[in-house]
Structure 1
Amino acid sequence: MLRRFVKRIKALPHKGKEPYLSFYNVLGFYPDWIDLYREAMTHRSSSIRSSKGRWVNNERLEFLGDAILDAIVADILYKKFEHKKEGFLTSTRSRIVQRETLNKLAVELGLDKLIISSTRNLAHNTNIYGDALEALIGAIYLDQGYRVAKKFVYETLIKQHLNIETVLKSEVDFKSRLIEWGQKNKVDVLFEVTDASYDAQNNPVFSSCVKVGGVEIGSGKGYSKKESHQMAAKVAIRKLRESNELQEVIARKAGTAASNPDNHMEKTSFPDLEEEQTTEES
């Protein structure tokens, strides 16, 4: 109680003033350490040099926020789904913290209007939004502690902007699904970046491929390495789902045939991919 009272007293001079007001509208409380939140909104393209000579941007806070968010979501899911197994909890957490979800949440919160960036075209750099959200969570953790960070994630992000039941029905992480399939069939799944370039607006573009059992079966492009991996995995999953022959080729290449004369690999239906395709076609 005393700590809350002290915080309210300290916040009085900042009420209604920028940038405190903008962060209050997002967070629901006035920050104590405002420089942390400014740093959380500073993209590396607009890095500033500190008095100690260090270039300051939100990458370090993003690293911290990523870990804190994982822990908080794991904490929430563990308590919400008491009878679910580890696989379900891991999969659900992956869907909540995946970049696409974080980007959407960041924009809904209005972080796109607070981000400081010299990048010309933010429309093609949507991961900037999700990165900033993770950095913001890192700032909350350092400024207010784990309890307040957890309250923000649960009360603001999940309850107001994210329906867990909807998340459970949403598209899964293609890369994780493909890796899981490879593990079940004892087949190596390897992703690698094949090219890195810039588009007309000087935004970085990455090309990646995925090899399953030594066979390249998918490639994709994206404005981050993660996004290009997801696109490559999506292509690979479609090919695997549609072709038993391809699975047999991979089995032979990977040496599965030697231990299994029938060349039988566990065929995964990838139900989430089927739902996603149906939605696109309708």
Structure 2
Amino acid sequence: MLGFYPNDIGLYEQAFIHRSIAVTQEGKRGNNERLEFLGDAILDAIVADIVYKHFPNKKEGFLTNTRSKIVQRESLNQIALNLGIDKKVTSMPYATTHHKYMYGNALEALIGAIYLDQGYRCCCKFVEERIIRKHVPLDKLASREVNFKSRLLEWGQKTKLHVEFDLIETYTDEEGNPVFQTSVSLEGMPLGIGIGSTKKESQQLAAKNVIRKIHKDKDVQKLIEEFKNQ
């Protein structure tokens, strides 16, 4: 899977320990959450570099959307399954039901472990050779549109929580180009803002921002549970 021999095998073992498993080492609970945090940031940077070089004539908005398609929860989870990470993750039996993207999170934790063990250059090689080349058809993926607004609204319907998009500001930049700023609220509480050259683009970026928080921000996840229990 890795293509190299690890130096610190303990890092890789920890990358596959889900938070539902309590592993105590000197009074501390060990799981893959910290490695996931690190790997998430590193993966974003590496994928941004790959996309930037692969599409030399594309604008920032296109590059951002393409990167998002690669690192979104569903994509990473499928890549993790393709790599066989689901067979390596240790978790409680109930966790696979309650934590839909467990394996994608473990993939990010693995990338964090590689970074700590082998460095950034090795991380880049792993992502490009083991993930992008084998599991991510860049040109095909880039042409596929992801409607973040629709996805967020569908999520709101399923969870019975009210999602609202508000155009809060429009103006022109120094070059005379229109700029739109949209806010997304959940049950009346603002959770994300998107800024784009069209109203639609600002809505999509705001929705993408909120979706990311729903999956990654523990404070937002806690807030959602509070809304559900009201």
Both proteins in one fold, TM over 0.5: yes
Residue number in structure 2 paired with 1:30 = 5
Residue number in structure 2 paired with 1:85 = 59
Residue number in structure 2 paired with 1:47 = 22
> Which amino acid is 1:44 matched to?
R
What do residues 52-96 of structure 1 show as CA deviations (whole Å, max 9, x unaligned)? x21110000000000000000011111121121111111111110
Matched, 1:162 2:136: yes
1:71 paired residue among 45, 53, 63: 45
5+ residue gaps, structure 1? 1-25, 195-208, 211-221, 230-282
2:38 touches 2:112 (CA, 8 Å); kept in 1? yes
Q: How many angstroms does 1:134 deviate by?
A: 0.3
2:51 touches 2:67 (CA, 8 Å); kept in 1? yes
Matched, 1:103 2:77: yes
2:215 paired residue among 195, 208, 226: 226
> Which amino acid is 1:166 matched to?
K
Q: Secondary structure at the match of 1:190?
A: strand
Relative to structure 1, is the Cα distance of residues 189 and 155 closer, same or farther in structure 2, using a 3 angstrom cutoff? same
Q: How many angstroms does 1:169 deviate by?
A: 2.9
Q: Tell me the distance in 1 between the aligned counterparts of 2:95 and 2:75.
A: 20
1:188 paired residue among 183, 187, 190: 183
Q: Tell me the distance in 2 between the aligned counterparts of 1:180 and 1:82.
A: 33
Relative to structure 1, is the Cα distance of residues 139 and 81 closer, same or farther in structure 2, using a 3 angstrom cutoff? same
Q: Secondary structure at the match of 2:20?
A: helix
Q: Tell me the distance in 1 between the aligned counterparts of 2:166 and 2:71.
A: 21
Relative to structure 1, is the Cα distance of residues 185 and 71 closer, same or farther in structure 2, using a 3 angstrom cutoff? closer
The TM-score normalised by the length of structure 2 is: 0.67
Q: Tell me the distance in 2 between the aligned counterparts of 1:190 and 1:55.
A: 35
Which stretch shifts more, 165-174 or 102-111?
165-174
Residue number in structure 1 paired with 2:100 = 126
Q: Which runs of 4+ in 1 moved over 2 A?
A: 123-126, 175-188, 191-194, 224-227
- Cα RMSD (Å) of the superposition? 3.3
1:46 touches 1:116 (CA, 8 Å); kept in 2? yes
What do residues 218-252 of structure 1 show as CA deviations (whole Å, max 9, x unaligned)? xxxx9x9339x9xxxxxxxxxxxxxxxxxxxxxxx
Task: Work out which of the two has the higher radius of gyration on C-alpha atoms and give 1 or 2.
Answer: 1
1:39 touches 1:58 (CA, 8 Å); kept in 2? yes
The TM-score normalised by the length of structure 1 is: 0.56
> Which amino acid is 1:97 matched to?
V
Q: Secondary structure at the match of 1:166?
A: helix
Of structures 1 and 2, the one scoring higher in RCO (CA 8 A, sep 6+) is: 2
Q: How many angstroms does 1:98 deviate by?
A: 0.2
1:193 touches 1:225 (CA, 8 Å); kept in 2? no
Relative to structure 1, is the Cα distance of residues 177 and 39 closer, same or farther in structure 2, using a 3 angstrom cutoff? same
2:121 paired residue among 143, 147, 150: 147
Q: How many angstroms does 1:165 deviate by?
A: 1.6
Identity of matched residues, %:
53
Q: How many angstroms does 1:120 deviate by?
A: 2.1
Q: Secondary structure at the match of 2:41?
A: helix
1:95 touches 1:101 (CA, 8 Å); kept in 2? yes
What do residues 23-75 of structure 1 show as CA deviations (whole Å, max 9, x unaligned)? xxx11222111000010000001131112x21110000000000000000011
Q: Secondary structure at the match of 2:91?
A: coil
What do residues 149-177 of structure 1 show as CA deviations (whole Å, max 9, x unaligned)? 11111111010111112211334151599
Q: Secondary structure at the match of 2:186?
A: strand
1:57 paired residue among 31, 48, 68: 31
